[in-house]
Amino acid sequence: MLFGSILATVFLMLPPGQASADSGSHEQLRLWPNGLPPGARPVPAERAAELKTQSNSEWIRYVDDPTLTVYPPQRHQANGTAVIVCPGGGYNGLAWRKEGLEIAEWLNTLGITAFVLKYRVPRRDPERPWFEPLQDAQRAIRYVRAHAARWQLRPDRIGILGFSAGGHLAAMASMHWQRPTYPAQDELDRHSARPDFTILVYAAYLGAKDDPRRLSRLVRVTPRTPPTFMVVTWDDKLRGLHAGLLLAEYKKAGVPAECHVFAYGGHGYALRPSPHPVAATWPKLCAAWLREMGLIPVGASPAR
């Protein structure tokens, strides 16, 4: 058993560990001490400039300086649990507001400190589009764990949540936390990159490329894989099937997992109004799971 108002985000190029201090903004922390880890692939300058012009408050099309945006709950509600939020976007962009900032606000209503991960997009490696984002996710988990005392967090209650491609990234971070994806940069990298729990919402890319009715070879559940909560709909391509197959892998490994496969709802709904009321219940089900796992107090009541 584990223990248990969207404000304007300021996009600043800050040294590691420093943050904007304006009362009307959220801290934004740079992940890497030297810009990026060794071997990072750049996006051609002309393409990068084009993508920057396409970014807005809803969608971010280009990231070359990964950050964590910190959303702390009200002090009297904080319960010591943290979640790193990975927005989706096909590894080609980030649904920044819908699957990032709005999710952070919801987590705050549960007393959870949220960290929205702005990982590198678009795809640098066509064969492994998840690899550089996984570097960012591993670094983010280590960063939060290393600085847990700063936000009064429990270092054994740091989870990861992702949507669509961000769900795939959360799954990779949960299943490959022992895999070194970059050489240690500083003392921070002495900390474990293992999430303590995982939440996957309509996670993408879990099927094998050569046979989409099987799981990808990258999907490897072991007894050390974190407990996981999954949400998907049956009409979202084959993702309902993949969630069922993945649940079976958790059972084989003896890892607690919960999976909700709704009949209708499609893809990309997050917390926004949906014509499918059953799928829209996932936040309450997720909050119940968090309580069941001892990650939030029994009295914590979600705003949605």
Separation of first and last alpha carbons in the chain: 26
**pTM value?**
0.91
Check: CB of residue 145 under 8 Å from CB of residue 192.
yes
**pLDDT-derived band at 301, boundaries 50, 70, 90:** low
Would you kindly state where each structural domain of the chain is located, as residue ranges? 28-292
Phi-psi region of 238 (alpha: psi -120 to 50; beta: other; left: phi over 0): alpha
Average pLDDT for the chain: 91
Please state which CATH number belongs to domain 28-292: 3.40.50.1820
- CA–CA dist 198, 173 (Å, integer): 9
Query: What pairing do the DSSP bridges indicate for beta strands 197-201 and 158-163?
Result: parallel
Residue with tokens 């969207």: 6
Phi-psi region of 265 (alpha: psi -120 to 50; beta: other; left: phi over 0): left
What pLDDT is stored for residue 300 in this prediction? 64
Instruction: State yes or no: pLDDT of 14 exceeds 50.
Output: no
The pLDDT tens digits of the residues spanning 264-287 come to 999 999 999 999 999 999 999 999
What pLDDT is stored for residue 92 in this prediction? 98
Query: What pairing do the DSSP bridges indicate for beta strands 197-201 and 228-233?
Result: parallel
